[in-house]
Structure 1
Amino acid sequence: MKTGTNVIHLTLVVALGGLLFGYDTAVISGAVEALQNYFQLTAAELGFAASSALIGCVLGAALAGYVSNRYGRRGALIIAALLFLISAIGSAVPQHYWTFVIYRIIGGVGVGIASMVSPMYIAEVAPPARRGGLVAWNQFAIIFGMLVVYFVNYGIALMGSDNWLNDVGWRYMFASEMIPAILFFGLLFTVPETPRWLALKGRNHEAHGLLKAMNPRQDIEPQWQEIKQSLIKVHRPGIIAAGYLGVLVIGIMLSVLQQVTGINVFLYYAPAILKGFSDSTTDIALLQTILVGAVNLSFTVLAIFTVDKFGRRPLMMIGAGLMAVSMLAIGTAAYLDAIGGYLLVFMLLYIAAFALSLGPVTWVLLSEIFPNSVRSRALSIAVFAQWFANFVVSQSFPMMNEKESFIFQQFHGGFPFWLYGIMGIFTVYFIYRWVPETKGKSLEQLETIWQHDSTQGEHRMKPAGLS
C-alpha cells in the first residue's frame, strides 16, 4: 500500500491510536455495574476489574521505548493495533473473572504503546509552528473515542433490561472495539516512518527525502542539519549521562500530576458517582456521562486552536486552578451532605478545565521536551509513570468511596475529591516554577533549554542543577 507524506493525513491516521486509547479505557465505564453483578465482585475486585487494563498500560509504556526504537514508530503502532483487536475479542467472551482481566491487560499493553508512540510520531513529523495543535489532535481523538464509546454503551443499555445488560449486554460493549481496531491496523500501512527515526537509524538518505516530501515549499537544510547535530549524543550511555536528568524529572512530574488530579475517577466511574450522589437510574447516569464526554471534546478542540497561540504554560496553570476549585467544591458539598444538581455543574467545569489544559497540553509537552537522542527512552519512562499513577488512582478510588469504609464514614465521600483538589493546587505551582514555555520552537531548538543556564525568561523555570 502506498504511503503518503501529507502531515494532516499522517496526524489523522496516527491519532486513531489515541481514539483506541480512549475507547479501550472508557468502555469499562458503562459495564462497571454489570461486571460487578455478573462476576459477584467485591469493591476491591471491582476496582481491579476497572484498573486491570492499567497494568497492561504500565507494561506497554515500559516496552514502548524499546519497541519504537527497534521496530520504528509505525511498527510499534501496528503492534498496538493487533493487541487492541485481541483484547476486544477476548474481553467480550469470558465466563470467568480472571479470563476477563487477562484480556483487559492485553488491551492495556496496546494502550500503553499507543499512548506514547502516537503523540511522539505526530511531534516528529509536525512543523514547529503547528506542532502543539497537531499533537493535541491526538488528545481530541482520545476524547472522541471516549465519547463514541459512551454513545455505544448508552445504545447497548437501551437494547434490553438491566438483567439483560448484566448477563449479556456488557459483552457487546467490549466487542464493539473490534471495528476501530481493524480500521487503525489497515490505515497504518498508508503512513511512513518518521524522518527523525530514520535518521536515528542512520538511514539519512531516506530521512532527508521524507523530510523534503513533508515540507515541499520550505528549505529543509537548516532543519536537517539540526536533526543530524542533535543525534551526535545518541551513543552516550544513558539519559543521565547525556545530561538530561532534569528534563526527565519534569516529564515524570507532568505525567503523574495529570493523573493524581483525579481525571480518571470521572472518566471511569462517572455513572457510578452520579448514581451514588443522586437518584439517577442507570440509563440517566449513562446519558449524563455522554454530556461529560461532549464537554471534554468541545474544550479539547478549544485547546487545539489556542495552544500554539497562547502557549503551554498559561493553559496549564489556568486549567489546573479551575480543576482544583471544582474538586474542592465537590468534596466540600459531599462532606456537608449538600450534594444537589450542581454536582454535575462542578463535574463539567472540572472536565472542561482538564480538556483545555492537562489533557492535551501535557501530551504536547511530553512529546516535545525530550531531545532526539533520548526521546523514546525518556518518554517511555514518563508515560510509564503516568500509567502507574493512573493505576493507583483508579484502584484506590472505589475503596475510598465505598460507603462502609472508614474514610467514607469520616468524610461522607468528600476525602478523595479534597485530595485531588490539593494536587491541582500543587500542579499550578509546579508549572509556574519548573516548566518552560516551548511554543514555536523546533524540537532541536528546545534542546538548548536544557543545555544552557540563565536567570532570565523561560530558563528561570529550570530545576536547580539542570545542565
Structure 2
Amino acid sequence: MSHIPTTATAAADPKSPPPLAHVVFIAAAAAMGGFLFGYDSSVINGAVEAVRDRYDVGSAALAQVIAIALIGSAIGATVAGRIADRIGRIPCMRIAAGLFTVSSIGSALPTGLWDLSAWRVVGGFGIGMASVIGPAYIAEVAPAAYRGRLAAFQQAAIVLGIAVSQLVNWLILNLADGDQRGELAGLEAWQWMLGVMVLPSLLYGVLSFLIPESPRYLVSVGKTTEARAVLARVEAPGTSLDARVTEIADTMGRETRSAFRDLRGAVLGLRGIVWVGIGMALFQQLVGINVAFYYSATLWQSVGVDPSSSFFYSFTTSIINIVGTVLAMLLVDRVGRKPLVLAGSAGMTVALGCVAWAFSADLVHGRLPHAQGLVALIAAHVFVLCFASSWGVVLWVMLGEMFPSSIRAAALGLSSATVWVANWVVTATFPSMSDWSLSGTYIIYTAFAALSLPFAAKFVQETKGRSLEEMGRQE
C-alpha cells in the first residue's frame, strides 16, 4: 500500500501519470449529454419533410418546430448551474436523462404539431442542462494535464451523435422503402427516428450511476472524505490528496454559491470575463454551423443536388466534423486553446466567403454551374473542418475552465444559454433568409467569422495547463 504524502503541495510525480482509463470513462459518461444534443440536432433533419407533409405547415412554422427545442435548451442551460450547486452534478445528469427519455417517447407519439413542439421543448431543457453540467463536471474531475482533451469529449460526443443519427435515419428509411411517412410496426418512419433516441437517453441515466460526484462539489458541502476518495481515483499516483483537498477547500471557503447577481461588473453591467464567454458563445453559432446539420439536405437540394446525393454529402460532412473534432482533441493541450481559435476563425472566413461566392451564381437548369458547385461542396466541407478543429471544441473546453470558481456555474450557465439562443436565431431565420438570398445569408455568416478573429486575438486568454484554482486567483 503506497504512502499518501501530506505535505503542503499537491504536486504529483511527473513520471506517474493519472489513471487515464478511469478518467476517460468518467469524461465519456458525462459527455453523453453532448451525444444526445448531436443526435437530436441531426435526427430532426431526417423528419423535416414528413412533419411538413403530415401537418401541412409552411416553411416558417416548420422552422419554429425545428428550432423550438433550442428555447428549452436556453432555459435549461440558464438554471442548470444553480441547480448543480444545490443538489450536485450527478443528480442534474439524472434529471436531464429523465427529460430526454420522456421527450423521446412524446415526440414519437404526438397528437398534433404543437404537442410535438411541446415535447421538443422538454427535450431541449434536458439538452441545456447537460450542456452545462458536462463541461463543468469534466473540468472539475479531470487532472490538469489532460483536462483540455477530456473536456473536448463534449464536442466529440456531439459530432458522434450527429453521425449516428444519420446512420439510424438511413436504416429506418431503408426499412420504410425510402418513405419518411412509410409505416413500420404501426408508426411512421419519422416517428421511429425521433423515438429511437430513448435508447441513448436511458444509457445516459445508467452511466450517471457509475461515475462519482465532483470533488469540488463534495468539498463545498463538507464531504471532504468522499472528495478525497474521488481524487484518489483520478489524480496521478504521488499526488498529495490532503493538499489537493485543502487547496479546493481554501478556494471554496473564499466563495459563495454562484448566482447571476455575482456576474455583475463594471463592463456594461457584467464582469469582463463573462462578456468574453458570451462573445465566444455568440461567434460559435453566428457563423451558421448548425445550418449544415439542421438543413443540410434541404440546402443542397435547393441548388439542384438530388435527394440521394444530398444525404451522401450530409454524411460526408458529419465524417469531416468527426475528423476535425479528433484533430482538436489531439492539439488542444499541445498547441493551446487560443492558437486553435485564431486559425479556425481565419479558415472559416475564407471557406464561408467561397461558399457565398459559389451560391451567388445563377442556376442553370435548376443546378449550380459545375465550377461553382464544386467550390461550394469543397468550401462547405473545409468550413466544417475549420470549425470542428477549433471553435467547436475550444468553446466547450474554455467555458468549463475560464471562469473563477466563485462564478463558474452561473457564468457557464449564462454562456451556454447564449449558445442556445444564438443557435435558435440562426435555425429559425435560415429558411426566410435563404429565400431572400442564399449568397447574402452566407455573406453574413462570413462577416461573423471575420469578426471572431480580432475578438479572439484581443479578449480570449490562454488557459492551457493552468489549474482551475490558479485561474480563479488571477481573475
What is the TM-score of this pair, normalised by structure 2? 0.88
**Correspondence 1:28-427 to 2 at 5 A:** 28-161=44-177, 163-165=179-181, 168-215=188-235, 217=237, 218-235=239-256, 238-240=261-263, 245-281=271-307, 283-337=308-362, 338=369, 339-402=372-435, 407-408=436-437, 413-427=438-452
Distance 1:5 1:125, change over 3 A: farther
Deviations 1:377-405 (A, max 9, x none): 11111111111111111101111112xxx
**Aligned position for 2:14:** none
Q: Judge conservation of contact 1:18–1:114 (CA < 8 Å) in 2.
A: yes
Q: Which amino acid aligns with 2:227?
A: A
Q: Secondary structure at the match of 1:439?
A: coil
- Give the secondary structure class of the aligned counterpart of 1:158: helix
Q: Describe the SS at the equivalent of 1:239.
A: helix
SS state at 2:217 partner: helix
Higher mean C-alpha displacement, 351-360 vs 217-226: 217-226
Shift of 1:221: 4.0
Q: Contact conserved, 2:263 with 2:411, CA < 8 A, in 1?
A: no
Q: Distance in 1 between matches of 2:86 and 2:303?
A: 49
Which of 12, 26, 39 is equivalent to 1:23? Answer: 39
Q: How far off its partner does 1:169 sit?
A: 1.3
Per-residue CA shift, 1:245-265, capped at 9, x if unaligned?
111111111111111111111
The answer to whether the 8 A contact 1:5-1:210 is kept is no
Cα distance in 1 for partners of 2:264, 2:431 equals 42
Whichever structure has more helix as a proportion of its residues is: 1
- SS of structure 1 residue aligned to 2:401: helix
Question: In 2, are the aligned partners of 1:34 and 1:166 still within 8 Å (CA)?
Answer: no
The answer to whether the 8 A contact 1:319-1:354 is kept is yes
Quote the offset at 1:228 in angstroms. 2.0
Q: How many residues get paired?
A: 438
Q: Judging changes above 3 Å, is the alpha-carbon distance between structure 1 residues 125 and 317 closer, same or farther for their aligned structure 2 residues?
A: same
Give the direction of change, closer, same or farther, for the CA distance of 1:5–1:214 in structure 2 (3 Å limit): farther
Q: Aligned partners of 1:340, 1:228: CA distance in 2, in Å?
A: 59
Alignment-mate amino acid for residue 239 of structure 1: D
**Alpha carbons 2:359, 2:376 under 8 Å: kept:** no
* Maintained 8 Å contact 2:263/2:410: no
Deviation at 1:162, TM superposition (A): 5.2
Contact 1:25–1:53 under 8 Å retained in 2:
no
Post-superposition Cα deviations, 1:392-445, rounded to whole Å, max 9, x if no partner, equal: 11101111112xxxx33xxxx111111111100111111100011110111111
Equivalent-residue separation in structure 1 for 2:377 and 2:127 (angstroms): 29
For the 8 Å contact 2:29–2:204, the answer to whether it is kept is: yes
Is residue 446 from structure 1 mapped to residue 466 from structure 2 by the alignment? Answer: no
Gaps of 5+ in 1: 451-467
Shift of 1:148: 0.2
Shift of 1:194: 0.3
Residue 368 of structure 1: SS of its match in structure 2?
A: coil
- TM-score normalised by the chain length of structure 1: 0.90
> Secondary structure at 2:400's aligned position in 1?
helix
Structural RMSD (CA): 1.9
Q: Distance in 1 between matches of 2:445 and 2:89?
A: 34
* 1:434 partner amino acid: F
Cα 1:336–1:7 change in 2 (3 A) is: same
Q: Could you tell me how far apart the structure 1 residues matched to 2:64 and 2:414 are? A: 23
Flag structure 2 segments of 5+ consecutive residues without an equivalent.
1-19, 363-368
Specify the alignment match of 2:13 in structure 1.
none
In 1, Cα distance between the equivalents of 2:452 and 2:474? 21
Shift of 1:5: 9.9
Post-superposition Cα deviations, 1:306-338, rounded to whole Å, max 9, x if no partner, equal 000000011011111111111111112112335
Alpha-carbon deviation of 1:226?
2.8
Aligned-partner residue type, residue 101 of structure 2: L
- For residues 166 and 54 of structure 1, do their structure 2 counterparts lie closer, same or farther at Cα, with a shift above 3 Å needed? farther
Verify the 8 A CA contact 1:5 1:192 in the aligned structure 2.
no
Q: Deviations over 1:122-146 (max 9, x none)?
A: 1100111110000001211111011
